[in-house]
Amino acid sequence: MSSVTYIATTPFANQRPGTSGLRKKTREFMQPHYLENFVQAVFLTLREEPGVDFSQETLVVGGDGRYYNRTAIQRILRLAAANGVQRVLVGRAGLLSTPAMSAVIRRQHALGGLVLSASHNPGGIDADFGIKYNIRNGGPAPERVTERIYQHTLTLTKYPTLDAPDIDLDHDGSTVIGNTQVVIFDPLADYTAVLTELFDFETLRAFFRGGFRMVFDAMHGITGPYARYILEELLGAPAGTVIRGEPLEDFGGTHPDPNLTYAAELVSRMNADQAPDFGAACDGDGDRNLLLGQQCFVSPGDSLAIITEQAADCIPGYRTGITGVARSMPTSTAADRVASALRIPCYETPTGWKFFGNLLDAGRCTFCGEESFGTGSHHLREKDGLWAVLCWLSILAVRRQSIAEVLRTHWQRFGRSYFQRHDYEDLDATMATAMIAALRQKLPSLVGTTLVGSRVVQADDFSYTDPVDGSVSAQQGLRVLLADGSRLVSRLSGTGTSGATLRLYLERYRRDGGSAGLDDVLAPLAQEALQLLELRERCGRDTPTVIT
């Protein structure tokens, strides 16, 4: 056995994890020691947890297949072995989607896992890379953990390593590095097992046999192999249902971001004559979902509301009851109305999936969602793109309605939250921070004034107290709430890798059957937002980079 030696290093000042792990330019990650410093800080943090003995623990590693994935895995394996971890499970070919990571950690009773991904950000040597740490419950590390990781990155002076050749990642089996067993496993198995427990695969198979037509765009991210197996092999959807199904290191040079801008090809297919019945896409690491019907789009806030409304009737895994629903603060309030009709609580959390973990662990909610195309449930502790697709397939199969009809029926009963997010990317970070600070100052004076014909009833900087562990997260986004149920929310992104991104969330609530034009309804609110933020004056911009 080769012996452990130490490599001297110096801290990097910029390794504080953001909304979802540490995300940087790939070249930044490729600097000597950069990756090892961060991962060693994770190990130091874990070692301090009560009851953790690395010689008894399993760690899971895998990524979305982007550039640098394999190199990063080999380095992590050496570090894990040098730290004395008993066993490391690695997805075959280094691949594992984010929701599958959650499934593996839970089913294999692992200590946690490292996901190598910058999610929906582009991949390649000149694009983005990232690392997220997930804890024992299978979910993203909460802030108390990520903050300790960050503190370790600031004081680290060395990390251990040992001399070992690269491991063959492409064939299932087990190897030993030092005292650590490295197991290459099938990345589809645990995840598929979780889904087959929830959904009625027989009904879905019959649905496809009956001629239901769908197209699934994997955007050359990690969901290609999962979707081919689940949709085409297990459910019998015709070959070719999954497009862009091979994971590529640069996602074919595109943004693996499933929204109306970056999934343009899928959108135009669904808007064409003779469009399939259902179109869906997932992001690079498989946790986001985009859902389209013929000539229509399911807004993520509506998707959460409708899944919550329909699940008990349409999906066997939820037949026994739904305890509650949770949504991130900027997500539309559509789910709140369903929750009140079902007489279940609705929780409002800060942006980022890590805030749902405690609620799910405590059994307080069954479904969770974010406006950023993320939806999930208590089956895992991550948002889950293919799960959302199977939820909608189940609803369509049971209701025998088109997607447009499901939406219309929902809006007629509950009213509609007209919702859009406007992103202003690559702003000067100092200017953007000052702009938010200025609006924060102005908030108290807004209460009682009128905006787009409705009175401002509340204006604040969202602060969240976790009802399970009492932890407080302050300054999570500025919100202006109107008497008619409309809202204007603004915050800066915590996942970008250059400059600052302003996210402006626009929501207007109407009981009009949902038939009005989205842009017409929201344009006046967008104008108000530009003025309140003084966006043009402060940042020189008045047109969003991306609208979703």
Instruction: Enumerate binding residues for ligand VG1 (CB under 6 A).
Output: 19-20, 119-120, 283, 287-288, 328, 351-353, 370, 372, 374, 493-495, 503
Nearer to ligand VG1, 283 or 466 (CB): 283
Q: Does 382 bind Co ion (CB under 5 A)?
A: no
Q: Which of Co ion, ligand VG1, none sits in contact with 490, Cβ below 5 to 8 A by type? A: none
Q: Min. distance of Cβ 122 from ligand VG1 in angstroms?
A: 12
3-state SS, residue 360: helix
Q: Which of ligand VG1, Co ion, none sits in contact with 503, Cβ below 5 to 8 A by type? A: ligand VG1
State residue 247 phi and psi, 5-degree precision. Answer: -65, 130
Site string for Co ion, 8-47 (x = CB under 5 A): ----------------------------------------
Of 64, 232, 283, 382, the one binding Co ion (CB under 5 A) is: 283
Give helix 334-342 / helix 403-414 axis angle, nearest 10°: 70
Q: How far apart are the first and last CA of the chain?
A: 54
Shortest-Cβ-distance residue relative to ligand VG1 = 119
Backbone dihedral region for residue 295 (phi beyond 0: left; psi -120 to 50: alpha; all else: beta): left
* Residues contacting 32, CB < 8 A, separation 6+: none
| 131 within 8 A of 21, measured Cβ to Cβ | yes
With CA atoms as reference, report the closest residue to 7 among 45, 31, 33: 33
Nearer to Co ion, 342 or 546 (CB): 546
Residues 352, 327: Cα–Cα separation, whole Å: 10
Q: Min. distance of Cβ 10 from ligand VG1 in angstroms?
A: 29
User: Interacting stretch for Co ion, rule CB under 5 A, among 32-40, 142-150, 227-235, 283-291?
Assistant: 283-291
Total residues contacting Co ion (rule CB under 5 A)?
5
Nearer to ligand VG1, 58 or 493 (CB): 493
Q: Min. distance of Cβ 353 from ligand VG1 in angstroms?
A: 5
Q: Which of Co ion, ligand VG1, none sits in contact with 495, Cβ below 5 to 8 A by type? A: ligand VG1
- Look at strands 58-63 and 4-8 and give their pairing: unpaired
Nearer to Co ion, 245 or 485 (CB): 245
Residues 268, 256: Cα–Cα separation, whole Å: 17
Q: Min. distance of Cβ 421 from ligand VG1 in angstroms?
A: 8
Q: Quickly tell me which residue has 């009981």 as its tokens.
A: 511
Q: Which of ligand VG1, Co ion, none sits in contact with 19, Cβ below 5 to 8 A by type? A: ligand VG1
Nearer to Co ion, 66 or 288 (CB): 288
Shortest-Cβ-distance residue relative to Co ion = 119
**Residues labelled catalytic:** 119
The two structure tokens encoding residue 388: 């959302």
| 278 within 8 A of 243, measured Cβ to Cβ | no
Nearer to ligand VG1, 228 or 503 (CB): 503
Q: Which of Co ion, ligand VG1, none sits in contact with 372, Cβ below 5 to 8 A by type? A: ligand VG1
Q: Using H for helix, E for strand and C for coil, what is the string for 185-212?
A: ECCCHHHHHHHHHHCCHHHHHHHHHCCC
Where are any strands of DSSP class E within 51-157? Answer: 58-63, 87-95, 112-116, 128-134
Nearer to Co ion, 128 or 283 (CB): 283
Q: Min. distance of Cβ 11 from ligand VG1 in angstroms?
A: 24
Of 285, 302, 336, 384, the one binding Co ion (CB under 5 A) is: 285
Q: Which of Co ion, ligand VG1, none sits in contact with 323, Cβ below 5 to 8 A by type? A: none
Residues 403, 277: Cα–Cα separation, whole Å: 8
Q: Which of Co ion, ligand VG1, none sits in contact with 370, Cβ below 5 to 8 A by type? A: ligand VG1
Q: Min. distance of Cβ 190 from Co ion in angstroms?
A: 19
Q: Min. distance of Cβ 504 from ligand VG1 in angstroms?
A: 11
Dihedral angle, C-alpha 68, 69, 74, 80, nearest 10 °: 120
Q: Min. distance of Cβ 287 from ligand VG1 in angstroms?
A: 5
Q: Min. distance of Cβ 238 from ligand VG1 in angstroms?
A: 29
Residues 159, 38: Cα–Cα separation, whole Å: 10
* Residues contacting 479, CB < 8 A, separation 6+: 329, 458, 459, 460, 461, 462, 487, 488, 489
Q: Quickly tell me which residue has 């490295």 as its tokens.
A: 182
- Look at strands 500-510 and 487-492 and give their pairing: antiparallel
The two structure tokens encoding residue 288: 């986001």
The two structure tokens encoding residue 171: 């064939």
Vertex 231, ends 225 and 235: CA angle to 5°? 135
Of 190, 200, 217, 287, the one binding Co ion (CB under 5 A) is: 287
Nearer to ligand VG1, 161 or 223 (CB): 223
Binding residues for Co ion restricted to 112-141, rule: CB under 5 A: 119
Q: Which of ligand VG1, Co ion, none sits in contact with 423, Cβ below 5 to 8 A by type? A: none
Work out whether the CA dihedral 386, 388, 390, 393 comes out positive or negative. negative
Q: Which of Co ion, ligand VG1, none sits in contact with 466, Cβ below 5 to 8 A by type? A: none
Nearer to Co ion, 324 or 496 (CB): 496
- Residue ranges in contact with Co ion by CB under 5 A: 119, 283, 285, 287-288
